[in-house]
């Protein structure tokens, strides 16, 4: 893949100069070679800092929520997975389509900074592709105003529900033991929620203190309720960007639950992919069919 940084900078500069957007969100090079954190710029002369390298893994679309009431127009770079998150936010009517100028970037997979560090690599070529990119179905943006670079072909992948099936095959007590060992690690830092494009409520249930819906005491029971509630809230709305699992410092396999939900929704209510088409019907749990499976008679 050729480096699109030059074109990105040029376009960003033009957009800022002619006042088409108030700010640009992209990525810049961090202090360490394996970091390409988010960058916010408002002045044309800063556009030279923009990069799009192996570590531009962060989705930037949740940042749009911070300015949802400002009336500002944002130019934003999106990869395939990020664009589905953007569709999610637009479908949920959190921002207006006119308030974003979307610059699409086809993506052949990114690398995870934490993996770069733990693998002891000293340069990008030694770092394996990020886990979340291994099962990518949409390497090309599904929504954009302009696209930079050639479309990328989705690599033929294995079964995206393989990990889910592995868990399904366990006995009830084995499943419970597995999930409790994972959820007991949870620090409740809420990073998975904050990074999630489907978690775009103005006020999250977990932030409400009167009445307190989730106790602040960190124990297994509350941690499980936190994760199940969040997964269920995102049911049918999760765009599989995998950011939740990537940001989790404790390595909780959050996507294994989200994927299970996607799998069951497909089986029960017909195939569905969230955040792919902007003008589609409501997500599966926001609608119904009289012909849905009947098990409660």
Partner 1 sequence: MSVKSSDAQEAWEPKILAFCCNWCSYAGADLAGLNRTQQPPNVRIIRVPCSGRVDPQFIMRAFQDGVDGVLVAGCHPGDCHYSTGNFFARRRFLLFQRIFDYIGIDPGRLQNRWISGAEGDKFAATVSKVTEDIRALGPNRKLRDEHE
Partner 2 sequence: MQGIAKQDLNKVLETLSGGGAALLVPMEIDGVTRFARWEQGAKTALGAGNTLLPPKEALFPQNEKVFNYEMSNEEAKIVPSAAAAEETIILGIRPCDVRAIQALDNVFLTKDYVDELYKTRRRHTLLIALGCTQPAPTCFCSSVGGDPLQAEGADIMLWDLGETYGLEALSDKGKDLLKKIDKFMSKSRGKKPAAGKFSLEVDSRGIAEKLHNMFEDPIWDRWYQKCLGCGICTFICPTCHCFDMQEKHTGQWDGYRYRCWDSCMFQEYSLMAGGHNPRPTKKERLRNRFLHKLCFFQERYGMLLCTGCGRCVRECPVGMDITKFIKEVSEVSLNE
| C-alpha atoms less than 13 angstroms from C-alpha of 90 in its C-beta half-sphere | 24
Binding test (CB under 8 A) with partner 1, winner from 28, 222, 266, 276: 222
Q: Which of partner 2, partner 1, none sits in contact with 209, Cβ below 5 to 8 A by type?
A: partner 2
The C-alpha atoms of residue 279 and residue 101 are separated, in whole angstroms, by 18
The C-alpha atoms of residue 29 and residue 57 are separated, in whole angstroms, by 12
Q: Which of 179, 35, 8 shows the shortest CA–CA distance to 101?
A: 8
Q: Is 260 in the site for partner 1 (CB under 8 A)?
A: yes
Taking the least distance from each CB to partner 2, the nearer of 91 and 194 is 194
The C-alpha atoms of residue 145 and residue 107 are separated, in whole angstroms, by 17
Minimal distance, residue 254 CB to partner 1, in Å: 13
Q: Is 254 in the site for partner 1 (CB under 8 A)?
A: no
Within positions 119 to 138, which residues make up the interface with partner 1, using CB under 8 A? Answer: none
Q: Which of 198, 293, 189, 195 shows the shortest CA–CA distance to 250?
A: 189
What tokens appear for 168 in the block? 């399904």
Minimal distance, residue 292 CB to partner 2, in Å: 37
Q: Is 32 in the site for partner 2 (CB under 8 A)?
A: yes
The C-alpha atoms of residue 254 and residue 242 are separated, in whole angstroms, by 8
DSSP string, 151-198: --PPPP---TTHHHHHHHTS-HHHHHHHHHHHHTT-----HHHHH-SS
Minimal distance, residue 180 CB to partner 1, in Å: 8
Minimal distance, residue 140 CB to partner 1, in Å: 30
Within positions 265 to 284, which residues make up the interface with partner 1, using CB under 8 A? Answer: 265, 268-269, 284
Q: Which of partner 1, partner 2, none sits in contact with 278, Cβ below 5 to 8 A by type?
A: none
Q: Is 78 in the site for partner 2 (CB under 8 A)?
A: no
Beta bridge partners of 25: 40, 76
- Of the candidate spans 6-14, 45-53, 151-159, 288-296, the one that interacts with partner 1 by CB under 8 A turns out to be 288-296
Neighbours of 89 (CB within 10 A): 21
DSSP state letter for 24: E
What are φ and ψ of residue 51, in 5° steps? -140, 165
How, if at all, do strands 74-78 and 100-104 pair?
A: parallel
Residue ranges that bind partner 2, judged by CB under 8 A: 30-32, 35-40, 58, 62-63, 66, 113-114, 117, 181-182, 185, 187-191, 193-195, 207, 209, 212, 215-219, 246-247, 249-251
Residue ranges that bind partner 1, judged by CB under 8 A: 167-168, 170, 172-179, 205, 213, 215, 219, 221-222, 224-225, 228-229, 231-232, 235, 257, 260-261, 264-265, 268-269, 284-285, 288-290, 292-297
């Amino acid at each position: 893949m050729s480096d699109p940084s030059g074109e990105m900078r040029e376009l960003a500069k033009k957009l800022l100069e002619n006042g088409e957007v108030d700010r640009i969100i992209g990525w810049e090079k961090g202090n360490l070679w394996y970091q390409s954190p988010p960058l916010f710029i408002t002045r044309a002369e800063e556009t030279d800092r923009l990069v799009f390298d192996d570590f531009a893994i962060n989705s930037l679309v949740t940042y749009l929520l911070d300015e949802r009431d400002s009336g500002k127009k944002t130019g934003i770079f999106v990869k395939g997975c990020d664009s589905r998150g953007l569709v999610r936010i637009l479908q949920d009517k959190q921002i207006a389509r006119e308030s974003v100028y979307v610059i699409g970037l086809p993506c052949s997979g990114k690398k995870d900074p934490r993996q770069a560090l733990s693998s002891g690599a000293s340069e990008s070529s030694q770092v394996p592709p990020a886990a979340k990119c291994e099962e990518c179905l949409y390497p090309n943006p599904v929504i954009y105003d302009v696209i930079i670079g050639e479309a990328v072909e989705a690599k033929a992948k294995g079964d995206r529900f393989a990990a889910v099936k592995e868990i399904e095959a366990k006995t009830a007590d084995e499943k419970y033991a597995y999930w409790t060992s994972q959820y007991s690690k949870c620090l409740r830092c809420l990073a998975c929620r904050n990074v999630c494009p489907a978690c775009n409520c103005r006020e999250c249930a977990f932030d409400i203190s009167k009445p307190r819906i989730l106790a602040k005491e960190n124990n297994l029971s509350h941690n499980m309720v936190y994760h199940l509630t969040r997964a269920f809230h995102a049911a049918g709305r999760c765009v599989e960007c995998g950011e939740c699992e990537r940001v989790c410092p404790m390595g909780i396999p959050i996507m294994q639950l989200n994927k299970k939900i996607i799998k069951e929704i497909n089986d029960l209510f017909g195939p569905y992919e969230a955040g792919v088409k902007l003008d589609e019907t409501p997500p599966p749990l926001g609608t119904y069919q009289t012909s849905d499976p009947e098990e409660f008679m």
